[in-house]
Amino acid sequence: MDYFLARLPAFRRLPEEVLARLSAAFPIRKHGKGEAFFREGEPPHSVFLLRSGLVKAVKYSPSDEPVIMQLIVPGMLFGMIAVLDAKSYPVSALCLHESEAYRIPTPDFQELLAKHPDFSREVFSQVGQHVRHSQALRSLSQEPVERRIMYILWVLSESIGRELPVLREDIAEMAGTTQETAIRTLAALRRKKLISSRWKSITVLEASKLKALSEPR
């Protein structure tokens, strides 16, 4: 049995024999930085469960500008909204780092929802969380860069923990700004003792303050 699956809220509610069967059946897809698990407008062939890496859910504006709708971290399901409403994927899922994810074909995911109410309830709870984070990111799109970066750091710390394996260029991309602006903003947050950083990681020291300061005014 795959103990990664067994630890996750939705999957640990499944009977052990079902979990063992799924562990053997789910193929793992591996993609490099910038590659897509799926793209906006494609038919919903699968739901994915991120095992490692970092993925952004992106929607393109009429002027073809990318807007980040969701940050996906290990342990999160993604692609499920399209499967639930039987429409095309509303966003593209692009890798910020090299990433691995289980691929759950749409018929298998639908069967899990139909046969296992506890699994279904957890999935719908996650959908609600996705929608709330997407709304928050959209509301911040016109806010100052510092506020966007603080929100991203808070979301990641809530999902991953205090130690964030992200680079300054990752933060810049997620916030929709330049590396130079991200570097200046992160330096200001360090001076305020809200974060500390090393070459390939950022440590969130004051998550609650980041959340409070990032709320739209």
> Which amino acid is residue 86, in one-letter code?
A
| Domain around 152 | 145-214
Looking at residue 171, which CATH number applies to its domain? 1.10.10.10
Q: CB–CB of 187/124 below 8 Å? A: no
Residues 100 and 72 in one domain: yes
- 11 lies in the same domain as 39: yes
Do 40 and 115 fall within a single domain? yes
pLDDT digit string (tens) for the chain, length 217 residues: 467 888 888 888 888 888 888 888 888 889 999 999 999 999 999 999 999 998 989 888 788 877 778 888 888 999 999 999 889 999 999 998 899 999 999 999 999 999 999 999 999 988 888 787 777 777 777 788 999 899 889 988 887 788 888 888 888 888 888 899 999 999 999 999 999 988 778 999 999 999 999 876 6
- 136 domain residue, yes or no: no
Distances (CA, A) of 54 to 4, 17, 144, 174: 16, 30, 24, 11
Q: With b meaning 16 or more CB within 10 Å and e meaning fewer, what string describes 141-165?
A: eeeebbbbbbbbbbbbbebbeeebe
Element at 85 (helix H, strand E): helix 80-85
The one-letter amino acid at 192 = K
For the chain, how many structural domains are there in total?
2
Read off the pTM: 0.81
Residues 11 and 73 grouped into a single domain: yes
**Would you call 217 helix, strand, or coil by DSSP?**
coil
